[in-house]
Amino acid sequence: MALPLFFLLLAALASGYVPSQRIRENGFSLPTVARAFTGVSHISSSGEELKRCRCIPGDSCWPSPAEWDSLNKTVHGRLISTVPVSQVCHFPNYDEASCNALKASWVTPEPHIFAPGDFVAPYFQNQTCDPYTSESQPCTLGNYPPYSINVTGAEDAIAGLQFAKKHNIRVVIKSTGQDFLGKSSGKGGLELWVANLKSSTFIPDYESNNYKGPALKVGAGFRNSEAAELARKLNVRLVGGSSPSVGVVGGFTSGGGHSPLMGHYGLGADNVLEWEIVTPTGQHLIAKPTGKYADLYWALSGGGGSTWGVILSMTSRVYPDGPVGGAQLTVSAEGLTDDAYWGAVTAFHNFIPTFVSDGTVATNLLKNDVFTIYAATSPNKTADQVKAQLSTYVKYLDKNKIPYTVNYTSFDNYYDHLEHFLGPYPYGSFPITQLTGGRLVPRTVLESQNSTKDLVDTVRSVLANGHFYVTLETFDLNVTATARATYHEGKNAVQPAFRNSNLYYIVIGEWDFTLPRAEMVARQYELTNSVMPALKAATPGSGSYLNEADFGDPDWQQDFYGKNYPRLSQIKSRYDPDSILYARTAVGSDKLQQDGEGRLCFNN
């Protein structure tokens, strides 16, 4: 079966260009390179404004070359000056072959996750330096942080945070940069790049007041594919994500961490035993469910990334590996009436509470012309058992003479199942250049045929103009004893709406680089002001998964964090009293905003 467009195979990244250079390694001085790409050399803000704003290049308060050089010595040469990956597509560095190779791979993770200073969100890239603009257009940094520290341990993170506070500059934290809300962007920022923190420790007999059993400690640089491979070698399962190239530790798990395993074992955040972190005040500490830093543990476990500190590692529960059943089923609209096709979509929505009742989780795709159960995951089940679990929906399709293709699988371990459905590893086939929104759908909506019909009618209208499609994550966090054991009321800061939902919609608008940027910005406006309000109206009182949501949501505090936001805000003030860390829609970000030049300023 041909893969749907959402899961198109990604072209491999060709070599031939250098995304960044460590200062002085190639005979140039750091300030010269930085100035070439920032494109500014003047004071662009009044002294009064600078008192309440973070400094950016060109401001009188921006650190001097000698001060940057001193920081580089402090971190033992690990300070990196950002050179945009797309410099090869612009004069004076234009190289046609390298640019064409980059353009072919731009929508894949590879050019971005290995380049300090880079990130994937095209809205925030702002076309200041990408492969699709004219080679004569100057390549400038724009929202790319001008400098990064390759963090190898707590000392590097502490040095970076202290430097940023002393010089009043913005801090950005990046692992892979695979974030759709712009959290890895930051004009004039010092990036703390944790992608190379790859140490791991298997603890077969972890013991605490809350848990006794096997655990795995992994560094903040582990991607999902790497963590899954490590777990396979240890014959265990770690609750990680679907996308192989996303970092498993930082934003993913601290944001909640929905997973193909969540129906059996709970969310990623539910399984964390310890967080190792450097706080904005420079404390290197371990946050656990009990003890002095229990409040920080609570906030880190679901309260989102990039705001509590620099996460160095996490220690998480792991589970015995074993067979995994799977399935893939596709219904095409070709040859069907609209009513027949959307009737099949509605029938699936009605079927969801039954489908997930044994802990099965599925990633599904819905477009105007195709609906696919792309990857059903049933741990410790056979292919025949998955077939039985899907039988009610298949009988509906047969009864209504709706053509479909279906395939059932069984693999000996979780890693092989993941790679089959969500690979190829190590980077997978997920698009990463997109507009994104999301909404949790309560179980009660799906248990009512009238509410379900209204919901599907809403989605149908959302998809009508072809600007967007949706993926559907189907799950239930309350049906297995193991999942229930990983969570109790108030244990962590995950959006509470997760607990009574069976479905998560992820609304996706693929960024079309052939269109004028203004048209794509208009689609973002459509997402914020038309699409998401319609979905909210169909799911009253629910919320969103903060990692896959609309960055323009005017009600983000409630939608992303629910009733937890006031407490999260208090904890933010305790551990980051000076608001050193900022990320869009992160806890505490409501205290600051960007001015017209991208300078981060306090509201009062």
With CA atoms as reference, report the closest residue to 466 among 509, 432, 436: 509
Q: Is 165 left (phi over 0), alpha (psi -120 to 50) or beta?
A: alpha
The pLDDT of residue 7 is 28
Cα separation of 589 and 304, whole Å?
Answer: 12
Range 380-387 average pLDDT: 98
For residue 46, what pLDDT band results from cuts at 50, 70 and 90?
Answer: low
The pLDDT of residue 432 is 87
For residue 372, what pLDDT band results from cuts at 50, 70 and 90?
Answer: very high
Residue 23 has pLDDT above 90, yes or no: no
| Per-residue tokens: 471 | 């993926």
Range 411-415 average pLDDT: 98
CA 25, 31, 34, 35 torsion-angle sign: negative
Cα separation of 563 and 569, whole Å?
Answer: 11
Q: What is 65-84 written as a DSSP string?
A: HHHHHHHHHHTTT-EEEE--
Residue 189: beta bridge partners?
170
The pLDDT of residue 50 is 60
Residue 547 has pLDDT above 50, yes or no: yes
pLDDT single digits (tens) 186-211: 999 999 999 999 999 999 999 999 99
pLDDT single digits (tens) 245-292: 999 999 999 999 999 999 999 999 999 999 999 999 999 999 999 999
The pLDDT of residue 17 is 24
Collapsing DSSP to helix, strand or coil, 359 comes out as: coil
In one-letter notation, the amino acid at residue 469 is Y
In the chain, what are the helix, strand and coil shares in percent, each to the nearest 5? 35, 20, 45
The pLDDT of residue 146 is 98
Q: What is 181-220 written as a DSSP string?
A: SSTT--TTEEEEE-TT---EEEEEEEE-SS-EEEEEEEET
pTM for this one?
Answer: 0.92
CA distances from 599 to 54, 120, 349, 526 (A): 6, 21, 45, 26
With CA atoms as reference, report the closest residue to 238 among 198, 276, 274, 266: 266
Cα separation of 527 and 462, whole Å?
Answer: 9
Range 125-145 average pLDDT: 97
pLDDT single digits (tens) 450-484: 999 999 999 999 999 999 999 999 999 999 999 99
With CA atoms as reference, report the closest residue to 4 among 409, 429, 393: 429
> What fold characterizes domain 200-321?
3.30.465
The pLDDT of residue 24 is 29
Cα separation of 382 and 574, whole Å?
Answer: 49
With CA atoms as reference, report the closest residue to 357 among 381, 336, 334, 328: 381
pLDDT single digits (tens) 111-120: 999 999 999 9
Question: Could you tell me where the beta strands, DSSP code E, fall in 367-428?
Answer: 370-379, 405-411
For residue 21, what pLDDT band results from cuts at 50, 70 and 90?
Answer: very low
Range 581-592 average pLDDT: 98
Q: What is the DSSP letter of 530?
A: I
In one-letter notation, the amino acid at residue 564 is N
- The larger pLDDT score, comparing residue 5 to residue 317, is at 317
Asked whether 249 and 175 are in contact (CB, 8 A), the reply is yes
Residue 379: beta bridge partners?
324
Cα separation of 372 and 404, whole Å?
Answer: 10
Residue 18 has pLDDT above 90, yes or no: no
For residue 431, what pLDDT band results from cuts at 50, 70 and 90?
Answer: confident
Residue 592 has pLDDT above 80, yes or no: yes
pLDDT single digits (tens) 157-180: 999 999 999 999 999 999 999 999
pLDDT single digits (tens) 298-316: 999 999 999 999 999 999 9
Share of the chain above pLDDT 70, in %: 92
Cα separation of 476 and 358, whole Å?
Answer: 9
The pLDDT of residue 48 is 57
The pLDDT of residue 538 is 98
The pLDDT of residue 429 is 80
CATH number of 324-561: 3.40.462.20
Cα separation of 418 and 326, whole Å?
Answer: 10
Residue 363 has pLDDT above 90, yes or no: yes
Structural domain boundaries of the chain? 13-193, 200-321, 324-561
Residue 76 has pLDDT above 80, yes or no: yes
Asked whether 347 and 290 are in contact (CB, 8 A), the reply is no
For residue 352, what pLDDT band results from cuts at 50, 70 and 90?
Answer: very high
Cα separation of 105 and 338, whole Å?
Answer: 36
**Backbone angles phi and psi of 154, in degrees to 5:** -60, -35
Cα separation of 153 and 221, whole Å?
Answer: 11
Cα separation of 224 and 227, whole Å?
Answer: 5
pLDDT single digits (tens) 210-252: 999 999 999 999 999 999 999 999 999 999 999 999 999 999 9
Residue 420 has pLDDT above 50, yes or no: yes
Asked whether 463 and 367 are in contact (CB, 8 A), the reply is yes
Cα separation of 165 and 71, whole Å?
Answer: 13
Cα separation of 25 and 46, whole Å?
Answer: 36
Size of the chain, expressed as the number of residues it contains: 604
Question: Could you tell me where the beta strands, DSSP code E, fall in 11-104?
Answer: 20-22, 79-82
Range 547-561 average pLDDT: 99
Let me know if the fold of 200-321 is the same as that of 324-561: no
Collapsing DSSP to helix, strand or coil, 312 comes out as: strand
Residue 519 has pLDDT above 70, yes or no: yes
Share of the chain above pLDDT 90, in %: 90
Residue 44 has a CB neighbour count (10 Å cut-off) of 15
**Terminal CA-to-CA distance of the chain, rounded, Å?**
57
Residue 10 has pLDDT above 90, yes or no: no
Cα maximum dimension of the chain: 75
Lowest mean pLDDT among 28-42, 136-150, 463-477, 521-535: 28-42
